[in-house]
């Protein structure tokens, strides 16, 4: 009934934008997959559905829409509000900075804070990005960090590793989207298991790190994502422990590793109280990612 009434009354982009913001607010949606507010997400979904530039709203606000266009927008609005499907899965794309990636329910939605430091080149730990020859993106998912790394480190060969064959299908699509098949190599592996003898200057990893209790409390939007890519035991560090234990074997001399752990800094510091690590500032604070070098891991 609500859909039919909306279809009969709403005519312009402005009408649909107001309606979407109201529906999203009433549904108390969670916004953690790209947009920060109901307004931003509504504008993005409407513009994308209408095949309009997603950064150009104002010129189209009072444009009248065809009935088929209204229906298409309403279907997206209702799926977002009623089914709590993340916007990225509705549009089939997600953005990490200026990089666009293809996504669907086989992978978590790209949102790593490591990308912020990739843009900055990891100064001062890496003096010259062009000198980096080998990079590993562990738990690559959609391949997003591997692809961003390939742009930052122009001479590097990058391995994009994940245990999920389904996720790697998406990663291959994104590697092809950027024409990086000759530099980004997609590898199915349980962490380091199939990387015999490899040595990397840089290891990046955004592994599963959500504690069991937090998994149970996640908003409905996150339950559309693969649980394998989120949950990691009682304290969220089951996978991180394995990575920390094995990383020294795969890091080259003076190599560095950057690990994303969400809000689990206290758990990390409790697990490795003597480990010299540097917590890197991000747009969300200083508790999200840490950097550790090979010497510290070995010691």
Is residue 4 predicted with pLDDT exceeding 80? no
User: Span 159-188, mean pLDDT?
Assistant: 98
Domain count, the chain: 2
Instruction: Mark whether 73 and 114 lie in a shared domain.
Output: no
**pLDDT on residue 110:** 92
Residues 62 and 186 in one domain: no
Do 271 and 187 lie in one domain? The reply is yes
d(CA 258, CA 44): 31
Last residue of one domain, picked from the residues 64, 91, 118: 91
Q: Distance (Å, rounded) from C-alpha 75 to C-alpha 270?
A: 47
pLDDT at 293 over 80: yes
In SS3 terms, 277-298 reads as CEEEEECCEEEEEEEEEHHHHH
pLDDT at 41 over 60: yes
pLDDT digits over 224-247, tens only? 988 888 878 888 899 999 999 999
CATH number at residue 27: 1.10.8
Torsional sign, CA 76, 82, 86, 89: negative
Residue 188 to residue 199: CA distance in whole angstroms: 17
Mean confidence (pLDDT) of the chain = 93
pLDDT digits (tens, 9 = 90+) for 44-70: 999 999 999 999 999 999 999 999 999
Give the model's confidence band at 3: pLDDT under 50 very low, under 70 low, under 90 confident, else very high. low
Residues 291, 225 share a domain: yes
CATH of the domain at 182: 3.40.50.150
* Number of Cβ within a 10 Å radius of residue 163: 15
Q: What is the DSSP string of 38-66?
A: HHHHHHHHHHHHTT--TT--GGGTT-B--
Residue 294 has pLDDT above 60, yes or no: yes
What is the arithmetic mean of pLDDT over 31-53? 93
Choosing from 60, 91, 122, the residue where a domain stops is 91
Q: State in Å, rounded, how far the first CA of the chain is from the last one.
A: 66
The predicted pLDDT at position 285 comes to 83
Q: How many CB atoms lie within 10 A of CB 69?
A: 17
Alpha-carbon distance of 24 to 148, in angstroms, equals 32
Q: What's the rounded mean pLDDT across residues 214-230?
A: 87
Q: Does residue 206 sit in the same domain as residue 262?
A: yes
Residues 198 and 51 in one domain: no
Give the model confidence (pLDDT) of 132-145 as tens digits: 999 999 999 999 99
Overall average pLDDT of the 271-287 stretch? 90
pLDDT at 1 over 70: no
Domain of 252, in residue numbers:
97-298
Q: Is the distance from CB of 135 to CB of 146 less than 8 angstroms? A: yes
Q: What pLDDT, on the 0 to 100 scale, is given for residue 84? A: 96
84, 149: one domain: no
Q: Are residues 12 and 105 in the same domain?
A: no
d(Cα 82, Cα 77) in Å, to the nearest integer?
Answer: 8
pLDDT at res. 229 = 87
pTM as predicted: 0.92
Considering the domain architecture, whether residues 120 and 171 belong to the same structural domain is answered as: yes
Question: For residue 8, what pLDDT is reported?
Answer: 67
Cβ atoms < 10 Å from Cβ of 12: 15
Strand partners, 231: 210
pLDDT at 2: 67
Residue 161, sorted as left (phi over 0), alpha (psi -120 to 50) or beta, turns out to be beta
Domain boundary among 72, 91, 110: 91
């Amino acid at each position: 009934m609500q859909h039919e009434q909306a279809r009969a009354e709403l005519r312009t982009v402005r009408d649909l934008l107001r309606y979407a913001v109201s529906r999203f607010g009433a549904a108390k949606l969670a916004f953690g997959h790209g947009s920060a507010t109901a307004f931003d997400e509504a504008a993005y979904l409407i513009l994308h559905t209408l095949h309009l530039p997603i950064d150009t709203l104002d010129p189209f606000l009072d444009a009248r829409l065809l009935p088929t266009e209204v229906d298409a927008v309403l279907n997206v609005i209702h799926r977002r509000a009623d089914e709590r499907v993340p916007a990225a899965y509705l549009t089939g794309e997600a953005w990490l900075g200026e990089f666009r990636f293809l996504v669907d329910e086989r992978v978590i939605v790209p949102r790593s804070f490591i990308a912020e430091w990739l843009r900055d080149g990891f100064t001062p730990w890496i003096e010259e990005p062009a000198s980096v020859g080998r990079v590993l993106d562990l738990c690559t998912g959609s391949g997003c960090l591997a692809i961003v790394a390939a742009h930052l480190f122009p001479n590097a060969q990058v391995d994009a590793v994940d245990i999920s064959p389904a996720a790697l299908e998406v990663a291959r699509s994104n590697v092809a989207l950027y024409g990086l098949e000759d530099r980004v190599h997609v590898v199915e592996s349980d962490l380091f298991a199939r990387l015999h003898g490899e040595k990397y200057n840089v290891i990046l990893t955004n592994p599963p790190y959500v504690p069991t209790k937090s998994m149970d409390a996640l908003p409905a939007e996150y339950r559309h994502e693969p649980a394998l890519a989120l949950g990691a035991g009682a304290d969220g560090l089951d996978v991180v422990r394995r990575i920390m234990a094995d990383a020294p074997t795969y890091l080259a001399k003076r190599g560095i590793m950057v690990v994303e752990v969400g809000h689990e800094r206290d758990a990390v510091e409790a697990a490795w109280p003597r480990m010299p690590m540097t917590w890197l500032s991000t747009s969300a604070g200083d508790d999200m990612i840490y950097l550790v070098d090979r010497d510290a891991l070995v010691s």
